[in-house]
Structure 1
């Protein structure tokens, strides 16, 4: 085989791969559009537990599940914010709420009190949403030990421990829904995010393993990888096609429960992921590294300006 023939053969194979990937993407979008939104959440239990629920995506999960008739257990670290969200949800949706103040950056000892608070509740839905990131892209050696500890405990241990607490009662009833909020940074190379991307990769693999273990036992596991959503955590204030407000994003994700075991949640994010997957990894790294360095430089400049003022 000549060099030209080999090149043509490789090009044909790559074209077939691209065509197959595109067809797979289109079928996935069509499947969720045609079959999504059919889950009756209240049939799985009368309570939903939502972590990291006082702002952004978590708060919207709590609101939209309450709108579906579920009572809501609100879990976060700031009591005043929890109380405010509880009042808002009870007033708007006429459901019960229960607040559990907890700082998930703590060790295993924090979970004994949480377990007591959850005891006896008919929990049908668990949303593991709470997360801790860094305020701007940074090299790992410049991130404090405290921040690394917080990222691992908040992003990894909360997801594992709450699932371990709640899943036995779901198995007894042979029904339950667990939604784990990972991140696109757990799917693609994200230099200068420290441990954050790695913790979100844990959530991804953990969710896959849960699905394989419990799919035949009546449990639905959904694994979600959002790109940028316009929230306080992301620092984005304006909605756009690629950065939706939490209301838009969560409504889209909840419509996929029971249809897509893993998803980027929102069709422009699905398209963004599809395009990213077509790029070689070295190019993904180069693009993200350049953007991250610019964001880092801008953040450090602002920090210095504050010191001088």
Structure 2
């Protein structure tokens, strides 16, 4: 009888812990949205809480660009890092004109690996970075098996998705610790939740970001640094262009502007979050099945994306240019 009660107690504790682990992030997300309404005195401006300057990697498109805009709207000056000088100039000019803050640009191609960081360090040496948003990332061009991925693409995934988040974090942490405040936001992906066949390397890099972020938080949280793990699910960006046909018009897929608006609200208030309330609900539901089921579902979804991509590629390859049509008509006459 005692053994049965003991096993029942152990089972109950296990269920409660599993529920807390599953629901904790959504509850934090909800509280972060409600706090300004119920506890306005607890909400500090980001510039006062972390500092006047933010660095955003991959800040010329998608989530990165819109996250930078949201920070600028809150009075934060920006260093935007990207590989395209023309886009950098355009985005920086837009930010300065619209929000009246400073916007410095740094041209750097993270796919080049270690060689880019000395240049970045030199460019931000005299800037008291209060917020670092490790947003830069690359995705597969379309779902494919590991041996189909070109070696150059493999290294690009590792250098950008793993190397950038690691090295950029190292660059700014000492300064943040010296000032006794700061925030690091590492943008991961819902693909971290399970192995993801046909996007194997990409998902593995995102699992790295999750592990890295949680470990850095334990090391530097006691030193006054807020380290946030931001894990969006599908967002309508160029990065997911191969899947747009399947995701188009889906209420669960926000555009980058809508996503960034909600994600910035969680900064400094939530440690682990999807950044978007509907993604939070999805994330909670996804975690319920065991990993092997999630992996099978992910495989099925990626095979559908691959079929759609192959089908679209076939259609495009059969489109006859207007010049050829005219030529055929002339020949027929």
Q: What's the TM-score, normalizing by structure 2? A: 0.84
Work out the number of aligned pairs and report it: 304
Q: How does 1:121-200 map to 2 (within 5 A)?
A: 121-200=127-206
User: Counterparts of 1:19 and 1:122 in 2: how far apart (Å)?
Assistant: 40
Work out which of the residue numbers 296, 310, 316 in structure 2 matches 1:286.
296
Identify, as 1 or 2, the structure richer in helix: 2
Q: Which has the larger radius of gyration?
A: 2
Compared CA separation, residues 305 and 132, structure 1 to 2 (3 A): same
Q: Are 2:225 and 1:215 equivalent residues in the alignment? A: no
Contact 1:104/1:153, CA 8 A, preserved across alignment: yes
Compared CA separation, residues 73 and 142, structure 1 to 2 (3 A): same
CA-based RMSD: 2.6
Contact 2:144/2:198, CA 8 A, preserved across alignment: yes
Deviation of the 1:61 alpha carbon: 1.0
Compared CA separation, residues 106 and 39, structure 1 to 2 (3 A): farther
Deviation of the 1:298 alpha carbon: 2.0
Q: Are 2:54 and 1:48 equivalent residues in the alignment? A: yes
Work out which of the residue numbers 237, 248, 263 in structure 1 matches 2:273.
263
Match of 1:110 in 2: 116
Contact 1:143/1:194, CA 8 A, preserved across alignment: no
SS in 2 for 1:45: coil
User: Counterparts of 1:101 and 1:116 in 2: how far apart (Å)?
Assistant: 12
Q: How does 1:66-81 map to 2 (within 5 A)?
A: 66-81=72-87
Work out which of the residue numbers 283, 297, 300 in structure 1 matches 2:310.
300
Deviation of the 1:218 alpha carbon: 1.0
Deviation of the 1:287 alpha carbon: 1.8
Q: Are 2:264 and 1:254 equivalent residues in the alignment? A: yes
Q: Give a deviation string over 1:244-290, Cα, whole Å, max 9, x none.
A: 12222122222112221111111111110111111122322222211
SS in 2 for 1:161: helix
Match of 2:64 in 1: 58
Where does the alignment leave 5 or more consecutive residues of structure 1 unmatched? none
SS in 1 for 2:79: strand
User: Counterparts of 1:34 and 1:183 in 2: how far apart (Å)?
Assistant: 25
Q: Give a deviation string over 1:101-129, Cα, whole Å, max 9, x none.
A: 11100121111111111110121110000
SS in 2 for 1:241: coil
User: Counterparts of 2:111 and 2:87 in 1: how far apart (Å)?
Assistant: 18
Compared CA separation, residues 151 and 26, structure 1 to 2 (3 A): closer
Contact 1:71/1:95, CA 8 A, preserved across alignment: yes
Q: What's the TM-score, normalizing by structure 1? A: 0.90
User: Counterparts of 2:212 and 2:23 in 1: how far apart (Å)?
Assistant: 28
Compared CA separation, residues 15 and 49, structure 1 to 2 (3 A): closer
Q: 230-239 or 213-222: which moved more?
A: 230-239
Match of 1:241 in 2: 251
SS in 2 for 1:59: helix
Where does the alignment leave 5 or more consecutive residues of structure 2 unmatched? 320-333
SS in 2 for 1:134: coil
Q: 277-286 or 63-72: which moved more?
A: 277-286
Compared CA separation, residues 25 and 199, structure 1 to 2 (3 A): closer
User: Counterparts of 1:251 and 1:295 in 2: how far apart (Å)?
Assistant: 28
